[in-house]
Chains A and B, each alone.
Chain A
Amino acid sequence: MDMFIKQRIKAIKKGDQSAFADIVEMYKDKIYQLCYRMLGNRHEAEDAAQEAFIRAYVNIHTYDPTMKFSSWLYRIATNLSIDRIRKKKPDVYLDAEVSGTDGLTMYSQLADEGASPEDALESLELQQTVQEAILKLPEKYRTVIVLKYIDELSLQEISDILNLPIGTVKTRIHRGREALRKHLGHL
């Protein structure tokens, strides 16, 4: 796995684009997921994730092999998402309110273990509520919560990605969790 990535990176550094397609294929879901939960909008997430990969390709020479490649990629995507959040006009949040349900239909919900329509609706609403709660978090808490719970990364990896001490990462996760609890704890 690591060998495979190293090989691909070598080829990319020589300018072989087809080697990069393998990298994109490998990480697209994780990176998209991160962007989606950070930005709360399918279209924007797709755009941001694509830009993240393009930036990684262009800046591949700055990649430091002592760092995990995935961490480097996550760092690019995280910084890009934060930039976009900062540039966003507040009114875009109106759009984000329904975005938690993007791509989820009643049918896809029903297909899950034959859940009753009531359950499906409930879980659809829940999806929306959770996404809204994540989007309400200030960006520094949102970042760590998404990396930890959506992309399922370890505290050490998050600390590498954000270039922050583990203690700071923990504090942010704690605060993020408390903030989420206020929205979700009573459900």
Chain B
Amino acid sequence: MPCSEKIVQWMHDYFDGDIQKEEEQQLRSHIQQCEACREHFYALKKTVAFVENVSHMTPSDDFVKKVMYNLPREKRRVRWKRWFTHHPFLTAASLFILLSTSSLWAVWQEDNEFSFSKQEHLIVQNHTVIVPEGKVVEGDIVVRNGNIKIEGEVHGNVTVINGHKYLASAGEVTGQIEEVNEVFDWIWYNVKRVGYNIAKTLTK
């Protein structure tokens, strides 16, 4: 048994590394003289060395993987964000497609005013363009957001966008008759028109 509580306290202060210089000297000289305290001190010292030098243990190799696997699923937004930063080209391409389709869609949606190509003899009744019986219209007719009723004759093409065509038995159209009611039809119609215009300018 060591001599006093005070000496033991000093020993622990020594191991904690916060012993005063004077106390350390007193401790040293006491240990040299007193066998019981010396034994106690060296037993503690040995204990600390044993515990400090106990071998280091490492977790399994796939520790990180296992932790990550068991995490709750991350927010979708973040996954998308990371995907976008990792695939800049695909992001640009999909953004382009998104913007162009949405602008087309917007034009299709906004463009819902009733209009038609001005030709002679045409009569208009409640969003319906009428080619009267016995009259002949020279040229193409395009009707937007309305119907067309053909009782007379049209020497040219007839196109109805977002509407219907009614052809009376006596009515006659020398060119093509087309109804465009879906957005894809409409796109196709625009593409065809552009192609037709290009062909026309080329043949001129």
Contact with B along A116-137 (1 / 0, CB 8 A): 0000000000110011001000
Q: Verify if B110 is at the interface (C-beta below 8 Å from A).
A: no
Of residues 136 through 182 on chain A, the ones whose CB sits less than 8 Å from some CB of chain B are 145, 149-150, 155, 170, 173-174, 177-178, 180-181
B52 at the A/B interface (Cβ < 8 Å)?
A: yes
- For the complex, give the distance between the alpha carbons of A21 and B47 in Å: 37
Residue from B12, B51, B60, B78 in contact with A134 in the complex, judged by beta carbons closer than 8 Å: B51
CB distance from A108 to the nearest CB of B (A): 9
Q: Is the CB of A32 within 8 A of B78?
A: no
Confirm or deny: A62 has a beta carbon within 8 angstroms of a beta carbon on chain B: no
B59 engages A29 (CB within 8 Å): yes
| Interface range for A | 35 or more
Chain B residues with CB under 8 Å of A46's CB are 59-60, 63
Say yes or no for B16: interface residue by CB 8 A criterion.
Answer: yes
Chain B nearest CB from A143 CB (Å) reads 14
Residues of A with C-beta under 8 A to B87? none
A15 CB contact (under 8 Å) in B15, B46, B58, B77: B77
Given contacts A24-B64, A49-B59, contact A16 B78 (CB under 8 A): yes
Q: What residues of chain A lie closer than 8 Å to B82, measured between beta carbons?
A: 16, 18
Looking at chain A's contact residues, the main secondary structure is: helix
Q: Which of B10-47 contact A (CB under 8 A)?
A: 12, 15-16, 40, 43-44, 46-47
Tell me, in angstroms, the Cα distance from A14 to B75 when the chains sit together. Answer: 9
Range, interface on chain B? 20 to 34
* CA–CA, A29 and B75, complex, Å: 28
Segment 52-77 of B: residues with Cβ below 8 Å from A: 52, 54-60, 63-64, 66-68, 70-72, 74-75, 77
- Tell me how far the C-beta of A140 lies from the nearest C-beta in chain B, rounded to whole angstroms: 17
Assess whether B47 is in contact with A180, with CB atoms less than 8 Å apart.
Answer: yes
- Give which listed residue, A24, A33, A54, A126, contacts B56 with CB less than 8 A: A33
- Is the beta-carbon distance between B64 and A187 smaller than 8 angstroms? no
A24 touches B68 (CB 8 A): yes
Listed in ascending order, the chain B residues whose CB lies under 8 Å from chain A are 9, 12, 15-16, 40, 43-44, 46-48, 50-52, 54-60, 63-64, 66-68, 70-72, 74-75, 77-78, 82
**Residue ranges of A at the interface with B (Cβ–Cβ < 8 Å):** 14-18, 20-21, 24-25, 28-29, 32-33, 36-37, 42, 45-46, 49-50, 53-54, 57-58, 102-104, 126-127, 130-131, 134, 145, 149-150, 155, 170, 173-174, 177-178, 180-181, 184-187
